[in-house]
């Protein structure tokens, strides 16, 4: 697949122009990483493994194939987002024209190192979800595993996403 580095749309591997915004695509192609096992340790010293699915339950009955729930930090109520194509996570500023992200400022995003356009969560045709770091300053980790910028990574229920120092737990359709 080819990722448009302007609008972050995922295109066919053979495409030369983005089917969403029409811009020229880079030659580089990406493969979605599925391997979620790691022997690296996160800051708490434990192996990076998904959170127990039973930890968060408020989203049950509110999430369908086009909706995800993000539990931010230690909140008990999730942020429920409709994902028609993709959502961009970051911080809103007036100069984010055309790329307005889900604003994480109410969760101390600036202080925790979240970039204005930090990461995108995208729904694929099979209704699975991937996350892509958008070249953020302080990086994105999934279950303690650092993501390579612009390289998609498949998400599973209970995954711990870390944007800079801000923790989010991902839940999609079961």
| The pLDDT value given to residue 37 | 47
Rounded to 10 degrees, the C-alpha dihedral 148/152/157/158 comes to: 10
pLDDT of the residue at 9: 73
Return the higher-pLDDT residue of 65 and 139. 139
Collapsing DSSP to helix, strand or coil, 55 comes out as: helix
Each residue of 19-77: pLDDT tens digit?
878 888 877 766 666 654 443 333 443 344 444 445 677 777 777 889 999 999 888 88
pTM: 0.73
Q: Which residue has the tokens 């066919």?
A: 12
pLDDT for position 14: 85
**Averaged confidence pLDDT in the chain:** 82
Delineate the domains of the chain, giving CATH numbers in brackets.
1-30 (no CATH), 33-174 (2.60.200.20)
């Amino acid at each position: 697949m080819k990722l448009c580095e302007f609008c972050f749309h995922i295109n066919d591997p053979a495409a030369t122009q983005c089917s969403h915004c029409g811009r020229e695509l880079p030659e580089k192609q990406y493969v979605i990483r599925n391997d979620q096992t790691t022997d690296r340790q996160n800051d708490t010293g434990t192996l990076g493994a998904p959170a127990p699915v039973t930890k968060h339950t408020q989203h049950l009955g509110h999430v369908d194939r086009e909706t995800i729930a993000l539990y931010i930090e230690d909140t008990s109520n999730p942020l429920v987002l409709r994902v028609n194509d993709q959502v961009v996570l970051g911080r809103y500023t007036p100069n984010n024209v055309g790329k307005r992200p889900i604003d994480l400022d109410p969760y101390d995003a600036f202080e925790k190192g979240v970039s204005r356009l930090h990461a995108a969560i995208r729904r694929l045709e099979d209704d699975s979800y991937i996350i892509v770091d958008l070249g953020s300053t302080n990086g994105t980790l999934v279950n303690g595993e650092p993501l390579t910028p612009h390289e998609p990574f498949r998400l599973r229920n209970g995954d711990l996403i870390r944007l800079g120092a801000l923790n989010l737990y991902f839940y999609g359709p079961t």
